[in-house]
Amino acid sequence: MNSMVVKRSVVINHHKTSVSLEDAFWKGIKSIAAARNMTLSDLVATVNSDRRQGNLSSALRLYVLEHYRTTAANGGPEVGGGSSRQPDSAQGASART
């Protein structure tokens, strides 16, 4: 799988910042935000505020990964839904990797 890294600007707490993610992760985070009726910036801000360590790009990757792992474990095809906060198992994952 070849996924190009894409840099995008998002607004977090009224501040513009750049985030670099592979296109597949951008698609995932956009899909999760849409399913939760959130803007992309709002979801990114939530992940940012919940992260304990590491950089924002890593936190977003872990968030998307944990979202789809949880969805698969629950047997659901649902993309969004659930809480808008970062999954508990992803919060400290960057400290372990």
Say how many domains are in the chain: 1
Mean of pLDDT over the chain: 83
User: pLDDT of 50-78, one tens digit each?
Assistant: 998 889 999 999 999 999 999 999 987 65
Query: Strand ranges (DSSP E) for 1-67?
Result: 5-12, 15-22
pLDDT band at 80 (very low <50, low <70, confident <90, very high): low
Task: Look up the domain containing 49 and give its range.
Answer: 5-96
Instruction: Return the DSSP state at 51.
Output: -
pTM: 0.75
> Does residue 31 have a pLDDT over 60?
yes
Provide the CA 80 distance to its chain's centre, in angstroms: 11
CATH at residue 51: 1.10.3990.20
Which residues are within 8 A (CB) of 54 and not within 5 positions of it... i.e. 6 or more apart? 94, 95
